[in-house]
Amino acid sequence: MKTTLQVMGLVIAGLSFSQAAAQAPVLGSSATFALFSTNGAVSNTGFSLLTGNVGTNNGSSTNFGNVDGVMHDSDGTTALAAADLTIAYNQLEAAVPDFFPAALLGNGQTLVAGTYFIGESASLSNTLILDGENDPNAVFIFKIQGAFSSAAASQVLLTNGALACNVFWKIEGLVDLATNTSIKGTIIANNAAVILNTGVTLEGRAFSTTGAVTVSGVTVTTPLGCSTLPLTGPVQPVLNTVACFTVFSGNGEVANTGITFITGDVGTNVGLTTGFQTENVTGTIHPNPDVATAQCAADLNTVYTYLQTVPVDIQLLYPAQFGNDLVLTPHTYLLSGATVLPTVLQLNAQGTADAVFVIKINGAFSTGTYAEVELINGAQAKNVFWKVDGAVNLNDYTAFAGTLIGNNGAMILNTGVSIDGRALSTSGGISTFGINAVSTGGCTFLATPALEIKSKVEVYPNPFRDVINVESEAVLAANTVIVIYNSTGAVVATNKLGGTLSTLAISLPNGLYFYKIMTDGKMVKSGKLIAK
């Protein structure tokens, strides 16, 4: 049964008190940590996704993969975090209780802001709802005088403006969250361990004043909001004429095999550019070096040098294990060896549309088949930059995002690769095998009428089964068509488009296809489709 715990109106001498206001503790430098112990080991098993620093002031951090944060063991940062954690704990300890709920939390229970005191061990079952009552400063403090545990798949939900950064759990005993628990807030276990079992999701932090912090295949993300400043990342480089090229080498052949669609210029400053079809390139093909390629080569070297010198915020310690659903936020990252992206990497702008990501790889870079760089929460390909000191090999059907700059190494872009951005090499040949690449932002060619349409047309659903929709913000010209190709470049469907929405019955065998939207024989948009 759903219950709601509210503060009863209290009237004394004509004064009305509807609710006591809990005060959030000051976390100080400890707020940058996702997992931390003042005195105890911090360890992981399985594959965990962590956003925030990880460490201990007295012990070791072991068996963590790539973390979107900095690993700290017994250094100046952890010493300061330990001191700040003590202050925060004391502030929570001093908080005066407003409510005294039963030891079993959840089962549809709804709580409003305030300080909750449970004088014994407590547990969480099913669903606990924290209602912010549309107050962005609503603070929830739970003071539990014993251990705290959860049932499998239990969850804490936030409603009406409640924020995870304003939720605090002070536990005087072991914290043991069961499989697939989803919880919000900063957890501080005093003189006891913290255990987050497989599948636990925590938007908040897990701390211990004295005790081990042990996690196993979990997702922990430091919360946004409150006094947290939005991440913007480093200052992005000025591309100058580099912005006009989608595929370019400063010194090396640029050769295509198969049907490749490019939005942007293609060329090299030393060697020849061959195999690209004029009708499939919205931009200029530079078959031989010219004034434009000479200027682009010079500008590309400047961009590379800038990226080389951008200070690193976070080193990802395991280059061979890059991706695997790893989530990165706007920072400058370093991988100090050959790097492989086998599956999915997510770039999370956290709602900041202009946030910049720089990923620096000191070694070769390759991807697995169907690997993907996924842009989420406002991230834009034009703000993503990759610097690779070595050869680049994007495997079949990789979906890539960002400006990729290879230095002193060949670049191979295999069948079905799609790039939302650019593939550039300071020195090294580039080979493409039936790809689809579209550069975004920064060059005057992107302001031509044909390409203005590109950003206003959507093709969906994708993947599709028997029907696709082509929708435009403006009425399409009567002579606009969509042409669909298979992976070998053969035309498999051609349909006329009109108005602002065309619904087309298209039945194709399962697989990857490419499309072009054409008006008067000129390409205004291209992309890939997956039939399922």
Q: Read off the DSSP letter of residue 395.
A: -
Mean pLDDT of the region 253-281: 96
Measured between alpha carbons, how far is 259 from 513 in angstroms, rounded to an integer? 11
Q: Is 229 exposed, middle or buried (0-12, 13-18, 19+ CB in 10 A)?
A: exposed
Residue 489: give its domain's CATH number: 2.60.40.1220
Domain match, 56 and 120 both:
yes
Run of H or E including 361: strand 357-361
Location of structure tokens 């001093």: 94
Q: What is the pLDDT of residue 5?
A: 41
SS3 content of the chain, % helix, strand, coil (to 5): 15, 45, 40
Q: Which of 438, 458, 490 is the last residue of a domain?
A: 438
Report if pTM > 0.85.
no
Domain match, 32 and 176 both:
yes
- Is the pLDDT score of 451 beyond 50? no
Q: What is the pLDDT of residue 4?
A: 44
Q: Which of 379, 409, 438 is the last residue of a domain?
A: 438
Measured between alpha carbons, how far is 101 from 107 in angstroms, rounded to an integer? 13
Assigned token pair, 368? 């697995």
Domain match, 376 and 460 both:
no
Domain match, 194 and 331 both:
no
Residue-wise pLDDT tens digits, 45-77:
999 999 999 999 999 999 999 999 999 999 999
Q: What is the pLDDT of residue 442?
A: 67
- Is the pLDDT score of 450 beyond 70? no
- Residue whose C-alpha is closest to residue 269's, from 300, 244, 240, 239: 300
Domain match, 431 and 486 both:
no
Residue-wise pLDDT tens digits, 16-40:
233 458 999 999 999 999 999 999 9
Residue 297: helix, strand or coil by DSSP? helix
Residue 368: helix, strand or coil by DSSP? coil
Q: What is the pLDDT of residue 1?
A: 38
Domain match, 403 and 474 both:
no
Assigned token pair, 142? 């739970």
Domain match, 304 and 419 both:
yes
Domain assignment present for 313: yes
Q: What is the pLDDT of residue 391?
A: 98
For 16-20, 86-90, 363-367, which range has the lowest pLDDT when averaged over its residues? 16-20
Domain match, 457 and 407 both:
no
* Distance between first and last Cα of the chain: 43
Question: Number of C-alpha atoms within 13 angstroms, CB side, residue 95?
Answer: 29
Measured between alpha carbons, how far is 348 from 334 in angstroms, rounded to an integer? 17
Distance of CA 52 to the CA centre of its chain: 13
For β-strands 344-348 and 372-376, DSSP reports them as parallel
Domain match, 192 and 300 both:
no
Measured between alpha carbons, how far is 531 from 372 in angstroms, rounded to an integer? 18
Q: Kindly indicate the confidence band of residue 430, based on its pLDDT and cuts at 50, 70 and 90.
A: very high
Q: Measuring CA to CA, how many Å separate 170 from each of 51, 146, 189? A: 22, 10, 6
**Residue 459 lies in domain:** 448-531
Measured between alpha carbons, how far is 328 from 316 in angstroms, rounded to an integer? 10
Domain assignment present for 414: yes
Domain assignment present for 231: no
Mean pLDDT of the region 283-305: 96
Contacts of 12 (CB under 8 A, 6+ apart): none
Q: What is the pLDDT of residue 217?
A: 96
Q: What is the pLDDT of residue 51?
A: 98
CB 507 within 8 A of CB 492: no
Q: Which of 163, 194, 221 is the last residue of a domain?
A: 221
Domain assignment present for 18: yes
Measured between alpha carbons, how far is 234 from 252 in angstroms, rounded to an integer? 30
Q: What is the pLDDT of residue 6?
A: 40
Q: What is the pLDDT of residue 519?
A: 83
Run of H or E including 105: strand 104-106
Domain assignment present for 297: yes
Mean pLDDT of the region 88-103: 97
For 3-7, 198-202, 352-356, 479-483, which range has the lowest pLDDT when averaged over its residues? 3-7
Q: What is the pLDDT of residue 286?
A: 96
Q: Measuring CA to CA, how many Å separate 86 from each of 37, 44, 174, 398, 418? A: 11, 24, 18, 48, 50
Domain assignment present for 229: no
Q: What is the pLDDT of residue 479?
A: 84
Residue-wise pLDDT tens digits, 121-177:
999 999 999 999 999 899 999 999 999 999 999 999 999 999 999 999 999 999 999
Contacts of 50 (CB under 8 A, 6+ apart): 34, 35, 64, 67, 68, 69, 218, 219, 220, 221
Assigned token pair, 360? 């620096």
Measured between alpha carbons, how far is 132 from 128 in angstroms, rounded to an integer? 13
Instruction: Assess whether the previous peptide bond of 461 is cis (omega < 30° from 0).
Output: yes
- Is the pLDDT score of 83 beyond 70? yes
Domain assignment present for 56: yes
Measured between alpha carbons, how far is 368 from 132 in angstroms, rounded to an integer? 44
Q: Kindly indicate the confidence band of residue 12, based on its pLDDT and cuts at 50, 70 and 90.
A: very low
- Residue whose C-alpha is closest to residue 366's, from 337, 407, 395, 408: 395
Residue-wise pLDDT tens digits, 473-532:
888 887 899 988 886 667 899 999 988 899 999 999 988 888 888 887 677 777 788 888
Percent above pLDDT 90 for the chain: 81
Domain assignment present for 232: no
Domain match, 269 and 210 both:
no
Domain match, 254 and 210 both:
no
Q: What is the pLDDT of residue 143?
A: 98
| Average predicted confidence (pLDDT) for the chain | 91
- Residue whose C-alpha is closest to residue 144's, from 99, 179, 110: 99
- Choose between 439 and 140: higher pLDDT: 140
- Is the pLDDT score of 428 beyond 60? yes
Q: Kindly indicate the confidence band of residue 228, based on its pLDDT and cuts at 50, 70 and 90.
A: confident
- Is the pLDDT score of 214 beyond 90? yes
Q: How many domains does the chain have?
A: 3
Domain match, 256 and 404 both:
yes
